[in-house]
């Protein structure tokens, strides 16, 4: 593809060199400085009785330095070198500003951001830190004080370690005796020059040799069982999608189904039963109102009407009128008392 999109190829290649830790590029100063400090810290800690597990802080980034240079070269080789694997896409490929302008900016920063940028910032940071350490009494007191149960640090520890190293005949490269901060710093950079500096050469060379013929050699390697397992693990993106499916998607679906069952079988039934109870209570109250309250009142009115009609059929006998009136009053009172008590 480099013939079809040369600007993209060149800027992408600069990015590969930078992230592979090639000297004079930004990745060399940033990555190697971190790994050197990790190695220096591990050497300092172990020389003062610390756990050897501190070396993992240096070993793991060192391995990744080789892996990074290799897989970035693999990406560049399979994309821009060799024979096209899709002739149609190859024939229609062309450079476009929306693709190569961001890469140009990043490539420019990768070139000038190394020695000019990172080194300048590191020097300024070290100078400002030294000024702060010299001016701040609290900082200098804490720096010079030994940590209980841990290794010492600071100028006093440096002097004691250097005195001990001279007395025993060992220096920064010595294998015995506690290291000073300066010695640990030098040892970290020595480890980087010995083990990490070759990473960009080894990784880039291995990536070109392995993938310049396409997948010819890679297909042979992946037939070997341990490498086949690693290839499958990487090809499946370390099974991250499956892990995400089980940990997040399936758990979320299970919780949603449980919530749905609780909603249908508990909440909905409770609400429906409450509504049914209210409806049955209202029906009973309506029947009581129609047949008891209204019935009693209507019955009294009917009796009074019938008595009035009966009274109209008799002649004017006062005794009969009084008797009928008393019976009507008694029946009305009885009906009212019954209605109130019920």
Mean pLDDT, consecutive 10-residue stretches, the chain (342 aa), reads 91 94 87 90 92 94 95 94 85 86 91 77 78 61 45 46 44 61 90 92 94 89 87 88 92 94 92 91 87 80 75 63 80 80 72
Is the backbone of residue 170 left (phi > 0), alpha (psi -120 to 50) or beta?
beta
Residue 153: what pLDDT? Answer: 44
Residue 221: what pLDDT? Answer: 86
> Cα angle vertex 68, ends 66, 69, to 5°?
70
Residue 152: what pLDDT? Answer: 45
**Closest-CA residue to 80 (of 239, 234, 207):** 207
Per-domain boundaries in the chain: 6-235, 255-341
Q: Is 296 exposed, middle or buried (0-12, 13-18, 19+ CB in 10 A)?
A: middle
Residue 176: what pLDDT? Answer: 59
Q: CA 190, CA 57: separation in Å to the nearest integer?
A: 16
Residue 310: what pLDDT? Answer: 67
């Amino acid at each position: 593809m480099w013939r079809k999109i040369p600007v993209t190829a060149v800027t992408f290649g600069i990015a590969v060199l930078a992230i592979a830790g090639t000297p004079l590029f930004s990745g060399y100063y940033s990555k190697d400085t971190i790994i050197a400090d990790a190695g220096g810290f591990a050497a300092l800690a172990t020389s003062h009785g610390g756990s050897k597990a501190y070396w993992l802080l240096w070993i793991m980034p060192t391995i990744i330095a080789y892996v990074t240079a290799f897989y970035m070269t693999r990406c560049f080789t399979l994309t821009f070198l060799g024979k096209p694997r899709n002739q149609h896409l190859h024939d229609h490929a062309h450079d476009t500003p929306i693709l190569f302008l961001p890469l140009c900016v990043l490539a420019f920063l990768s070139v000038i951001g190394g020695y000019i940028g990172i080194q300048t910032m590191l020097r300024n940071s070290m100078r400002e830190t030294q000024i702060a350490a010299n001016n701040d009494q609290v900082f200098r007191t804490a720096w010079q004080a030994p940590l209980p149960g841990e290794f010492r640090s600071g100028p006093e520890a440096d002097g004691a370690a250097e005195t001990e190293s001279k007395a025993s005949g060992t220096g920064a490269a010595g294998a015995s005796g506690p290291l000073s901060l300066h010695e640990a710093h030098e040892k970290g950079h020595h480890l980087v020059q010995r083990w990490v500096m070759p990473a960009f050469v080894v990784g880039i060379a291995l990536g070109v040799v392995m993938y310049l013929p396409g997948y010819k050699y890679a297909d042979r390697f992946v037939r070997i069982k341990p490498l086949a397992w690693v290839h499958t693990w990487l090809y499946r993106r370390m099974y991250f999608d499956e892990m995400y499916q089980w940990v997040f998607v399936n758990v979320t679906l299970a919780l949603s189904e449980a919530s749905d069952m609780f909603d249908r079988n508990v909440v909905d039934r409770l609400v429906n039963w409450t509504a049914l109870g209210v409806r049955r209570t209202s029906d009973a109250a309506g029947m009581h109102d129609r047949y008891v309250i209204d019935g009693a009142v209507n019955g009294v009115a009917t009796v009074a009407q019938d008595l009035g009609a009966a009274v109209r059929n008799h002649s004017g006998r006062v005794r009969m009128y009084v008797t009928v009136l008393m019976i009507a009053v008694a029946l009305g009172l009885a009906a009212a008392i019954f209605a109130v008590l019920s």
